Amino acid sequence: MKTYPIPNTPLRATCLAYGCMQIGGTWDNAPLTSIDRARARSVIERALAHGINFFDHADIYCRGKSETVFAEALREMKIARDTLILQTKCGIRFADDPDAGIPERFDFSYEHIIEAVEGSLRRLQTDYVDILLLHRPDALIEPEEVARVFDELHRAGKVKFFGVSNHTWAQIALLKKFVTQPLVVNQVELSLLRADLIDDGMFFNTSPRPYTGIGGTLDYCRANDILIQAWAPVANGKLFNPAHDASPNIKRVAGLIAHMAQMKNTTHEAVALAWLLKHPAPIQPILGTTNPERITASCRADEIELTREEWYALLKAARGQALP
């Protein structure tokens, strides 16, 4: 599988990554079951079999069970830690944590980031994570405090590199003013059905496109050597399995994807992901399926490349209107 150099690091990541959000089973405090463990191992094995070396986590995924079951599977399979790139995230806190009545919130405080990283290291059974992302923007962020905790985690060897998720260019620029480590990743929702970051540049200064607050985020990341990662890259399957009552745009682009897949003798997943891989940013899609066959279907994206004309045809079908 093709790889990307992650800027400002020695890491080379496969062009597709596997996202471990759902491998922990339920999103409650119920313990892991033998079914959960078998399912997690099967998808991890399939991802590894296709050469994927990048695995994306977060402390909250299945309330920590996704990190736990991942580590158990690696230990059983005797996979060497240094052959993988492990990324995790922190900053989202559930309601009633730690006490009843406390609301859900975002938390980039020194104390919470330290606690979250220690918890992830324990569950992942590792001494370090390659990349730590701040999960969703905290309106109460104190950049100096984040810089202090980044420095401490880096000096201790517990986090090698840092990044963000779901951040605008301005939020990244504010953080960059204070942190000493480079921010190497921005993970965002991005697909043919959620192409705001790509639309933004082409439809600037047109009507009735409202200002969304993300203006220039994709170009900012490219200019500042920040790898874009795409979560929900196939829109949770809507791009090839639209609901009966789906919008005309979804049905139209799903139909075009099916046609291209047939013409290229490949899968629907491969075409949808190849659309992201075509972008020169580059963009690294994060696969989230727990179906091993869909992992195989997705990895065929590495075998094809869309033409410029095919890329724009898919964009137009998804948007349902002409370019400006």
Element (H, E) at 24: none
Which tokens is 209 given?
Answer: 């496109």
Residue-by-residue pLDDT tens, the chain, 324 positions? 999 999 999 999 999 999 999 999 999 999 999 999 999 999 999 999 999 999 999 999 999 999 999 999 999 999 999 999 999 999 999 999 899 999 999 999 999 999 999 999 999 999 999 999 999 999 999 999 999 999 999 999 999 999 999 999 999 999 999 999 999 999 999 999 999 898 887 777 665 555 455 678 999 999 999 999 999 999 999 999 888 889 999 999 999 999 999 999 999 999 999 999 999 999 999 999 999 999 999 999 999 999 999 999 999 999 888 887
| Amino acid letter for position 8 | N
| Strand spans (E) along the chain | 3-5, 12-14, 17-19, 54-56, 85-90, 92-93, 105-106, 129-134, 159-165, 183-189, 227-231, 283-287
pLDDT reported for residue 214: 62
Which tokens is 142 given?
Answer: 């104190």
Question: Does residue 61 carry a catalytic annotation?
Answer: yes
pLDDT reported for residue 322: 82
Catalytic residue among 4, 61, 110, 128: 61
Of 75, 82, 23, 11, nearest in space to 47 by CA: 23
pLDDT reported for residue 126: 98
Q: Does domain 3-234 have CATH number 3.20.20.100?
A: yes
pLDDT reported for residue 196: 87
pTM of the shown model: 0.96
Residue 253 contacts residue 241 (beta carbons within 8 Å): no
pLDDT reported for residue 201: 77
pLDDT reported for residue 205: 67
